[in-house]
Amino acid sequence: MEVTPGQYVQIDVLILLPSGAVIYEAKNMAGRLRFEEHPKRLDKVDEHGSITDRYDCPMLQLQDEIANLQVWFHLHGIPFGADGAVIMTGSAIIEKPPANGRIFSLREIRGHLAEKEKKTGMTVQELRQLADYIRRHNRPYIAFPLIGRFGISAEEVEWGPLCETCNSRLGRKSERVWLCPACKWKTADPFTRTLQDWFTLRSGTIVNRQVRELFGMKSPGAASRLLQFYPLNKDGDGRSTCYAWDYTTPLTRRQE
């Protein structure tokens, strides 16, 4: 949800109870974890106690979400409080729990909610209205394209059609058939998967030249005919036409 223009709060699970809202921030982690203070962080350690990974502290993330939701309620004139907990959904062993702050396993949710349900506040009808109101203001969170998040450059990635069995680069065998030289896997449509990878990983848009590079096409006409099969939004004219996927409809190929 957009809290203030351009600033969003993303919530895993939001539960509305008469006494207030409850946010559950789900963390699916394995291994041994230590919540460290000053500065707050989460360390993953191996059996010898050496740190193998460092994460942002989920307790801080939860606090931000609670604060942002409270601001959202306030700005929308809704007299409603918010609270929450971090839920560990994986097999992680917590060697050192956070000094202050709630961290639960999945099984503890029931007890946590039961405790809160004892308190009164909004009526069921008011809660339904609030739930509808929140739904209307919810914007789907789109994390794509992902490339910026992994610190890898576009040059390091093979963007062309890949074998879905062994990930080797596919070759075009004939007009209709693409073949994996390594394992002989065949497909008539390497396009959809390749375009999905492009849009989810590399960029929200694509231009004709990039399509030709991806599929080794010579003709701009063939590249634009290919793009016609997909539900993409066109922007611009001629050579500078940009095709965008809005990520909300499936990127499937229309029947010819």
CB of 194 to Zn ion, least distance (A): 15
Which of 4, 138, 165, 219 lies at the binding interface for Zn ion (CB under 5 A)?
Answer: 165
Using the minimum distance from each CB to Zn ion, give the nearer residue, 152 or 183.
183
Q: What distance in Å separates the CA atoms of residue 68 and residue 82, rounded to the nearest whole number?
A: 10
Question: Residue 116 CA to chain centroid, in angstroms?
Answer: 30
CA distances from 120 to 86, 115, 145, 146, 245 (A): 24, 11, 43, 43, 45
Q: How many residues bind Zn ion (CB under 5 A)?
A: 8
4 binds Zn ion, rule: CB under 5 A? no
Using the minimum distance from each CB to Zn ion, give the nearer residue, 99 or 182.
182
CB of 179 to Zn ion, least distance (A): 9
Sheet holding 51-56, edge to edge: 51-56, 41-45, 32-36, 93-96
Q: Which of 107, 119, 135, 52 is nearest to 80 (CA)?
A: 119
104 with 87: CB under 8 angstroms? yes
Q: What distance in Å separates the CA atoms of residue 212 and residue 222, rounded to the nearest whole number?
A: 8
Using the minimum distance from each CB to Zn ion, give the nearer residue, 67 or 182.
182
185 binds Zn ion, rule: CB under 5 A? yes
CB of 190 to Zn ion, least distance (A): 12
166 binds Zn ion, rule: CB under 5 A? yes
CB of 222 to Zn ion, least distance (A): 25
Using the minimum distance from each CB to Zn ion, give the nearer residue, 93 or 183.
183
Q: What distance in Å separates the CA atoms of residue 147 and residue 112, rounded to the nearest whole number?
A: 38
Verify cis geometry, omega within 30 degrees of 0, for the bond prior to 220. no
Using the minimum distance from each CB to Zn ion, give the nearer residue, 164 or 213.
164
Using the minimum distance from each CB to Zn ion, give the nearer residue, 51 or 182.
182
Which of 19, 61, 63, 168 lies at the binding interface for Zn ion (CB under 5 A)?
Answer: 168
Q: What distance in Å separates the CA atoms of residue 185 and residue 163, rounded to the nearest whole number?
A: 7
Subset of 135-164 contacting Zn ion (CB under 5 A): 163
183 binds Zn ion, rule: CB under 5 A? yes
Using the minimum distance from each CB to Zn ion, give the nearer residue, 166 or 177.
166
187 binds Zn ion, rule: CB under 5 A? no
110 with 48: CB under 8 angstroms? no
Which of 17, 21, 82, 180 lies at the binding interface for Zn ion (CB under 5 A)?
Answer: 180
Instruction: Note the residues at the interface with Zn ion (CB under 5 A).
Output: 163, 165-166, 168, 180, 182-183, 185
